[in-house]
Amino acid sequence: MKNISRFHPMTTLLYFAAAIFSVAFCKDYLSAAAALAAGALWCAVTGRGLLRRLLALSAVCAVSAGANLLFVHRGRTALFYLGDNPCTLEALVCGLCLGAAVAGAVGASLLFSRAVTSDKLFYLLSFLSPKAALVLCSAFRYLPVLRRAFVQSSEMQLTAGLARDGRLARMTACFMSVSGFAMEKSAKTAQTLKALGWGRSRGRVFGYFRFRARDAAALFLTAALFAVSTACAVRGGLNSYSFYPELAPVFADSVFVAGLVSRSALYLLPAAAALF
């Protein structure tokens, strides 16, 4: 995980944008299987909680497959009947492929949240609007703080014996307490920024991130693999697969193989960075 975090924030952002875009448009089951494997691999790279994340990805696939099987009554191979509506094999496979694509995107998002810390996010957003970056990062920072304050206020209410007033009254008191805490913190933050001269001029974007040779190499590999996979998708080598009225065979021509290999190599870049 540390090897992934060492890259420049812009390199990390562009890689995950390309990876999620590629995962989201997987249509045939081979590409969907590669996306699901990539999601599991990205969860493994994040480190802790691997089993829980893998179970979550499996649940996403199961829910997608079950919903598509029960509510999309298309296809010729009927597995069973729900009333007068057939539940078909084609709908099940289509749901599995959609769930695998979503699971791959979720895995990429999990790894992105671990690789891009709050200072990197602030650095990226500062190029667009420093004020908006400050507001967003402050909001993300105060969410866990306010949650802890709410829990502490609730425990104080219980300790003071106010639980007999009812749950609604106790929650209302906790909300009012946390609201006052948030306004006090925001006023102190605003006074501090005003004293530091924030907002008087645009200033410079602070960042201790340097664009190095490894960032250039990673960007080149990402751009090359993404360009190849996108070109293959445009030519119909990856996204021309159809599930209905029956499962079409996958024609493993040169365009399809090139697109699948380029996508798989694109998915493997974080693992390679983590290992080397």
Judge whether 206 lies within some domain: no
Same domain flag for 116 and 135: no
Residue type, 74: R
What's the pLDDT tens digit per position in 64-102?
888 888 888 888 888 888 888 888 888 888 888 888 888
Helix (H, G, I), strand (E, B) or coil at 78: strand
CA atoms within 13 A on the CB side of 18: 28
Asked if residue 19 is part of any domain, the answer here is yes
Whether residue 44 is found in the same domain as residue 152: no
Residues 36 and 101 grouped into a single domain: yes
- Coil, strand or helix at 54: helix
Q: Which of 180, 195, 210 is the last residue of a domain?
A: 195
Identify whether 233 is part of a domain: yes
Token pair belonging to 250: 């996958």
- Is 214 inside any structural domain? no
Considering the domain architecture, whether residues 92 and 23 belong to the same structural domain is answered as yes
> Do the domain assignments include residue 257?
yes
Are residue 115 and residue 55 in the same domain, yes or no?
yes
Q: Does some domain include residue 93?
A: yes
Residues 17 and 94 reside in one and the same domain:
yes
Domain match, 16 and 57 both: yes
* 115 and 9 housed in the same domain: yes
Q: For 227-252, what is each residue's pLDDT tens digit?
A: 888 887 777 655 556 777 777 776 66
Structure tokens at 39: 């999601």
- Domain count of the fold of the chain: 2
CA–CA dist 271, 265 (Å, integer): 10
Name the strand (E) or helix (H) holding 86.
strand 85-88
Of 42, 47, 34, 28, residue with least CA distance to 239: 28
In a shared domain, residues 104 and 225? yes
The whole-chain average pLDDT of the chain stands at: 76
Q: Are both 111 and 137 inside the same structural domain?
A: no
Do 23 and 157 fall into the same domain? no
- Does 169 fall in a domain? yes
Q: What is the pLDDT of residue 107?
A: 78
Q: Which residues share a beta bridge with 78?
A: 88
Domain boundary residue, one of 179, 195, 211: 195
On whether both 132 and 115 belong to a single domain, the answer is: no
**The predicted structure's pLDDT at residue 241:** 66
Range of the domain at 186: 128-195
